[in-house]
Amino acid sequence: MLTLEDLTKTYRGAPRPALDGVDLRVEPGAFLALLGPNGAGKSTLINILSGRCAPDRGAVRVAGRDLSPSDPALRTLIGIVPQEVRFDYVFTVEEILRMEMGFYGLRADGARIALLLERLSLGAKRREKVRSLSGGMQRRLMIARALVHRPRLLLLDEPTAGVDLNLRRDLHGFLRELNGEGLTILLTTHYLEEAEELCGRIVVLDEGRVVADQPREAFLGMAGDHLTLDLHSGQEARLRSLLEGRGLVAEAGAGLRVVFPRSARASVLATLAEAGPLVDSFQILRPRLEDVFLKLTRKEAALV
């Protein structure tokens, strides 16, 4: 669906490239997370794909065609939700979508607009001016706008920034449905749990280079083969000494935390059963995407 080869971009006057030889292949139907610390080059990559920024070097192919921002056929294949919210604020929600259809040379399709607004929980706002919408609503309207022409590849640059938790969950459901219908999605986000929940493949950029590119499970496996047991207890001191008696070292935090190798699962569960009366609540966690992300993007950890 999308192929990048040796994509390189240095902004004028910048000390180092924003993108430094990025290679990436996105298969049709993929739901890919593009992660990276601030300044890693995520938005630059998306802006190149949207034609807002020209690369110094490298090839971009979408559905087998070389990227040329002026190629109208190509434009119709991609939907883009940029990081900054930008609208002509004097127009209504519906007008924005009608105009966007016009931009793609399509007749305004009221049914399509109504459906998109419905699925993005904006139905009730369709006659309101964009400037009266909250930040989260404007973000959702950007997503509707990126979809009016039924693109095959959707690029989302931090689409859930400033969107509250409930709406974020709705939005996740919507993106998952779109992906289920065959839309290829590339998502950048600061919310790592969002990438973990939605994306089958995780790519991490750091300083303009790809530092990881793995299916989700393999990516999570890079955290190491350990599990974490979090315990809460009204009798923490007694619980701690019981655990220590069984060879389990508990770090204190909000409650007690034991990190143990996956191979010790059975004996840890047996200890947990024994400690049961002292435990108010517990949770066993597998490594999180955050663990791997920090490992990859913290310079000191990169030396390990």
Give the residue carrying structure tokens 């690029």: 155
Nearer to ligand ADP, 44 or 233 (CB): 44
Choosing from 18, 30, 81, 155, the residue that interacts with ligand ADP (CB under 6 A) is 18
Bridge partners, 284 (sequence order): 229
- Backbone phi, psi, residue 219, to 5°: -65, -45
Binding site for Mg ion (CB under 5 A): 42-43, 83
- Residue 40 engages ligand ADP in binding (rule: CB under 6 A): yes
**CA triple 141-33-122, angle to 5 deg:** 15
- Among the listed ranges 33-41, 92-100, 131-139, 147-155, the one in contact with ligand ADP (CB under 6 A) is 33-41
Nearer to Mg ion, 76 or 83 (CB): 83
Nearer to Mg ion, 41 or 79 (CB): 41
The candidate with the shortest Cα–Cα distance to 22, out of 38, 46, 52, is: 46
- Residue 125 engages ligand ADP in binding (rule: CB under 6 A): no
CB 208 within 8 A of CB 22: yes
CB 258 within 8 A of CB 268: yes
What count of residues does the chain have? 304
- Among the listed ranges 32-40, 66-74, 127-135, 142-150, the one in contact with ligand ADP (CB under 6 A) is 32-40
Choosing from 28, 39, 102, 162, the residue that interacts with ligand ADP (CB under 6 A) is 39
- Residue 56 engages ligand ADP in binding (rule: CB under 6 A): no
Instruction: Write out the two tokens for 157.
Output: 């640059």
Give the residue carrying structure tokens 């143990």: 260
- Residue 11 engages ligand ADP in binding (rule: CB under 6 A): yes
The candidate with the shortest Cα–Cα distance to 175, out of 32, 38, 24, is: 32
- Among the listed ranges 31-39, 196-204, 237-245, 287-295, the one in contact with ligand ADP (CB under 6 A) is 31-39
Chain residues that interact with ligand ADP, rule: CB under 6 A: 11, 14, 18, 36, 38-44
